[in-house]
Structures are given as structure tokens and as C-alpha cells.
């Protein structure tokens, strides 16, 4: 999807069309989750600190994220994909791989025909745009989708893969981050063509045997992976950057409850449970640490996630002021296959029933309808204060969100 979060916001507020729009933290703190193309013209990018985005584009409208709406639009978009083929592998709320080889025969069309029909249906039904990369492998299709942006299609024919890949920087290859790119550069390797021409021995000296074989295959356009419609994200969670650093441990535990509640709802919405609970803490000097603990049995309950997160937090002892907290569920398993932990003396209807009943109430009356008692009095239970929130002063939405409040999401990788 093109600038997905920003596009959804602009869709419902047409007066923002043509203006630079940033979804994420406010001008002072947080991280950019999404930026309209008007904002990108000033150099604003996803995952950029909001303060820097504000310096680059002070006239931008900063909005906090609305993950509930983004999730609804995402489900509708994925339904469009699945109307074409059942072989859909979502990567995030705004991106997916589709295997359309069977659909071509069934629909009697071409890859470009499928791409055109998908884009038309998404635009007509959701009022937003998407860009499509078409290729014979997942890796090349992913790169082609970047070239297609915004609001376009790019086809890489099977006999044109090397011509497409060769000029690209080596950083375009999966698995090449900044450090690996630097190492390869010292060996005179700066483009994908250089990787293909380098030979195994040079690459092994630079990055090791396993990584060398991986990069060499990608440089030649070889990707054996297949679209997996049953593939799941490996984790789900929420994190939040605060308007003011938190010094009081009691306040931090309270925020952990909010994040655990948000994370648990995501797990239940996806029909999964977490084997491991991870805590993320960023201090006022931007030092960031993570701690994790594996549970006796997988869970999708806020009560369990919060208990472990608090234990991990308290084990840190005295710490500097905290800028960001995050809670994640990892090692996800299907809820209907996960073993349930039996607790002696627990009533027939316990916490699981209570939290699911709360989900039903929220679906009918909004997120603020039901929440833990210790969070009552907070006027905005969804206030994201880091990379995803920021607001529109004209609409009273100028707040900051959690560093990607990974309320089901993360900064758009491609958008």
C-alpha cells in the first residue's frame, strides 16, 4: 500500500489531501510511522525521529495513529487479494505476497491484468492506492514493488531479472544491512552485479560461507521460497514513547498494564497465543535493553503478559528515567492448538472469559468501553505517544504515540 497509515487518514479527511501528513510521534518525541508523499518530498521517512521530521517539514500535519481503522482497512484489502487467489501471505497490515499463477489460468488474463484489477478494486472500495511488483520470484517482486511506488506497477520478466537486479545497490539484497554493506564495500562490492561477479571465495572471506551462498543466489535472481498463506508473524506487541520520561516505578507498571492489554487484544484478534513475553525499555539517554521470559504455557491474556512484564521490569532494580516501554508476545502458536494451563481452584469462568467478554464490548462500544480498573481516569486509552501518534491540533488529536505502538503494526517498510 502507498503510505498506508497516512493514506487512510487523508481518505477520511480530504482537506488534508495535497498537504504533508505525518502519522507518528508529535514534533517533540516519538518516531514517524508513515508519511505522505508530500512530506517525503522534504526528506521525511518512516522510522525517523519525529523531532527531525518536524525540523525538515515544520508545516506538516502530525496525526496520532488509529490502528483499529488501519486493521479494518487492511482486512478489506486482504479480502480483495484473496478474491483473486487463496495464496496470499501477508507481511504486515499493508503488504502481502500473492501467488497468482493459478489465477492466470482461471481468469484467462496476464500478470499485468491481475495487477490492474487489484489496484482498481482497492482504489474503488477503500479509496487508497497500492503499488504492485510482478516477477517470477518473491524477492524480485518485492524489489519491483518499490520501483513501482507510488501508485504504479512494475513487471520484471523472467528473462529480464539480471538486467533489473545488476544496477541496484548491494543493500537491496535481503540480509545486507549497513554493516554488511560496509564490509562488502571494502572488497570493492557496491552493486548486485558486483556480488554476482565476485565469486564464492571472495564473498566467503567477506561475510562467511552461509551468507555468501545466500547473497550469491539472490544476486542471480534465485529465490526458492514459495508463498505461504499459513505463514504468521513471529511476534505481536505494543510499545510507547512517553511525553515525559517516567521516573516512578508505579507509573511504569501501570503503563505496562496498558501495553499488555493492547498486546493481548492483538493476540486474540489473530487467533494466536504467545510462548514468550518480552520487555523493552529505553532510557532517557536512548540506551535500550530487552528482557524476555518463556511461559509454562502459551497465553493470550493481558493478566499473564502484565505479570511477567512487571517481574522483568522489577528485576532491573533502580534504573534511569524511562523514555519508552514495550511489551511483546513472541513464539506465537495457533490458539486452537495451544495447550491451556489448568489452575487448581480456578472457577469455571475465569480471566479468559472475562477478557473475551471485554473484547466483545469493545467491538460494540469502542475501545474505551472496558479497560482495567487501574487505567480508569485516563481520558484516552489508545493514546499513542511515540512513533505513531501525533495529532491534529484542529481536531484535538495532537498527542504522541508508542514507538510504533506496534499495535499490530510497525513503521511502513516500503509505503
Binding residues: 94
User: Which residues sit in the known binding site for Mg(2+)?
Assistant: 94
DSSP code, position 16: G
Q: What angle do CA 283, 289, 291 make, to 5 degrees?
A: 130
Using CA atoms, how far residue 361 sits from 25, 116, 364, 367, in Å, is 29, 40, 5, 8
Q: How many CA atoms lie within 13 A of 161 on its CB side?
A: 19
Show the beta-strand stretches assigned E in 319-379.
322-334
Q: Are 142 and 136 in contact (CB under 8 A)?
A: no
Q: How many CB atoms lie within 10 A of CB 159?
A: 8
Using a 10 angstrom Cβ sphere, with 0-12 exposed, 13-18 middle and 19 or more buried, the burial of residue 285 is: exposed
Q: Are 63 and 8 in contact (CB under 8 A)?
A: no
15 is catalytic: no
Q: How far is CA 254 from the centre of its chain?
A: 25
Q: How many CB atoms lie within 10 A of CB 59?
A: 10
d(CA 370, CA 380): 12
Residue 15 neighbours by CB under 8 Å, 6+ apart: none
Q: Are 243 and 64 in contact (CB under 8 A)?
A: no
User: In which residue are the cell numbers 481518505 written?
Assistant: 11
| Catalytic residue, candidates 95, 240, 255, 412 | 95
At 323, phi and psi to the nearest 5? Answer: -90, -35
d(CA 44, CA 92): 21
Of 403, 398, 179, 399, give the one whose Cα is nearest residue 286. 403
d(CA 23, CA 400): 10
d(CA 251, CA 240): 13
Radius of gyration for the alpha carbons in the chain, expressed in angstroms and rounded: 23
Catalytic (active-site) positions: 95
Amino acid at each position: 500500500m502507498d503510505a498506508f497509515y497516512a493514506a487512510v487518514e487523508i481518505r477520511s479527511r480530504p482537506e488534508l489531501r495535497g498537504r504533508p501528513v505525518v502519522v507518528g510521534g508529535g514534533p517533540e518525541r516519538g518516531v514517524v510511522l508513515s508519511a505522505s508523499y508530500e512530506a517525503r518530498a522534504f526528506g521525511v521517512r518512516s522510522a525517523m525521529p519525529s523531532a527531525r521530521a518536524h525540523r525538515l517539514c515544520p508545516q506538516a500535519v502530525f496525526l496520532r495513529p488509529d490502528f483499529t481503522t488501519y486493521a479494518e482497512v487492511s482486512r478489506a484489502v486482504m479480502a480483495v487479494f484473496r478474491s483473486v487467489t487463496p495464496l496470499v501471505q501477508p507481511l504486515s497490515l499493508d503488504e502481502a505476497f500473492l501467488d497468482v499463477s493459478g489465477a492466470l489460468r482461471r481468469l484467462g488474463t496476464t500478470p499485468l491484468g491481475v495487477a490492474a484489477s487489484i489496484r482498481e478494486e482497492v482504489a474503488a472500495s477503500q479509496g487508497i492506492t497500492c503499488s504492485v511488483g510482478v516477477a517470477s520470484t518473491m524477492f524480485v517482486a518485492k524489489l519491483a514493488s518499490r520501483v513501482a511506488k507510488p501508485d504504479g506497477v512494475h513487471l520484471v520478466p523472467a528473462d529480464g531479472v539480471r538486467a533489473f537486479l545488476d544496477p541496484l545497490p548491494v543493500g537491496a539484497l535481503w540480509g545486507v544491512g549497513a554493516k554488511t554493506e560496509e564490509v562488502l564495500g571494502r572488497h570493492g562490492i557496491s552493486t548486485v552485479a558486483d556480488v554476482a561477479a565476485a565469486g564464492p571465495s571472495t564473498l566467503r572471506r567477506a561475510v562467511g560461507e552461509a551468507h555468501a551462498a545466500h547473497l550469491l543466489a539472490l544476486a542471480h535472481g534465485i529465490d526458492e521460497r514459495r508463498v505461504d498463506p499459513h505463514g504468521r508473524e513471529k511476534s505481536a506487541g505494543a510499545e510507547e514513547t512517553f511525553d515525559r520520561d517516567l521516573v516512578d516505578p508505579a507509573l511504569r507498571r501501570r503503563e505496562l498494564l496498558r501495553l499488555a492489554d493492547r498486546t493481548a487484544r492483538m493476540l486474540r484478534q489473530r487467533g494466536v497465543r504467545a510462548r514468550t513475553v518480552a520487555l523493552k525499555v529505553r532510557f532517557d539517554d536512548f540506551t535500550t535493553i530487552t528482557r524476555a521470559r518463556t511461559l509454562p504455557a502459551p497465553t493470550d491474556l493481558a493478566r499473564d503478559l502484565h505479570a511477567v512484564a512487571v517481574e522483568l521490569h522489577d528485576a532491573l532494580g533502580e534504573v534511569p528515567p524511562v523514555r519508552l516501554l514495550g511489551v511483546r508476545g513472541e513464539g506465537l502458536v495457533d490458539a486452537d492448538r495451544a495447550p491451556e494451563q489448568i489452575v487448581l481452584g480456578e472457577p469455571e469462568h475465569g480471566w479468559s472469559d472475562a477478557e473475551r467478554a471485554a473484547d466483545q464490548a469493545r467491538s460494540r462500544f469502542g475501545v474505551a468501553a472496558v479497560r482495567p480498573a487501574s487505567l480508569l481516569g485516563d481520558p484516552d486509552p489508545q493514546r499513542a505517544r511515540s512513533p505513531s501518534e501525533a495529532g491534529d491540533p484542529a481536531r484535538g488529536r495532537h498527542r504522541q504515540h508508542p514507538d510504533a505502538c506496534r499495535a499490530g503494526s510497525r513503521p511502513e517498510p516500503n509505503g
